[in-house]
Amino acid sequence: MPPKKKAPPPPSQQHCLLLMTKNPALGKVKTRLAKSIGDEKALEIYLRLLRHTHKITVTLPVHKKVFYTEFIPENDLWEGYQKHLQCKGDLGQKMKDAFQVAFDEGYQKIIIIGGDCAELTEEIIGKAFLHLEKSPVTIGPAQDGGYYLLGMNSMIERLFQDKKWSTSEVLPETLKDLEALKIKPILLPTLNDVDEWKDLPEDWK
């Protein structure tokens, strides 16, 4: 009988998952969604998204850091995760700073996600870490033209510069940057971020 193929090892402790989140507050989260369902329902959806994100990340065998927009709370959903405050600036500056924090601490393979994707799974995040064994960059494309996940095994500052964040141009411009740098990223499945009513899973409506 042929020898059994070994399963790929789980991500090592040199791997770090970064989570960018907004402090949940009425009227300050999911503002596009709130236009159709109101602030209270939008906050409820956002909290549900955060619980989903926690569920799919809490058991991953990697270090985890959560970056808040306003302040670092105590006794919230993210106990057990290292807590940080996002830097000032646009989304690109905030993500670059979060990556830099992790690289400066010696992590070798780093992935960043938000808390907006109800379709994201633990398996997809695990695959992303494995992709970083083969490529310097892995990306999870979002249907709106952005991305729900970005992974790197070294800092590429260009990916965070000169982007119109939260628009459909983000992913094409990011891929263009990588092509110019002669880096071929490994792409994950395209998923849907929750920004508007139409983006919600049917059983959430």
Say if residue 6's pLDDT is above 50. no
Instruction: Compute CA 94 distance to the chain's CA centroid, rounded to the nearest angstrom.
Output: 12
Mean of the pLDDT values across residues 49-69?
A: 96
Q: What's the CA dihedral at 157, 189, 147, 61 to 10 degrees?
A: -60
pLDDT: is 133 or 205 the higher one? 133
Domain parsing of the chain, residue ranges = 15-199
Domain 15-199 annotated CATH 3.90.550.10: yes
pLDDT at position 9, please? 43
Mean of the pLDDT values across residues 64-90?
A: 96
pLDDT in tens, 124-160: 999 999 999 999 999 999 999 999 999 999 999 999 9
Mean of the pLDDT values across residues 47-68?
A: 96
Percent of the chain with pLDDT over 90: 80
Cα distance between residue 65 and residue 74, in whole Å: 15
Q: Could you tell me the pTM of the whole model?
A: 0.91
Per-position DSSP letters for 126-180, written without gaps between them: HHHHHHTTT-SEEEEEBTTSSEEEEEESS--GGGGSS--TTSTTHHHHHHHHHHH
pLDDT in tens, 47-57: 999 999 999 99
Average pLDDT of the chain, as a whole number: 92
pLDDT at position 12, please? 62
Say if residue 72's pLDDT is above 60. yes
Asked whether the CA dihedral 148, 78, 55, 137 is positive or negative, the reply is positive
pLDDT at position 170, please? 97
pLDDT at position 201, please? 81
pLDDT in tens, 79-127: 999 999 999 999 999 999 999 999 999 999 999 999 989 999 999 999 9
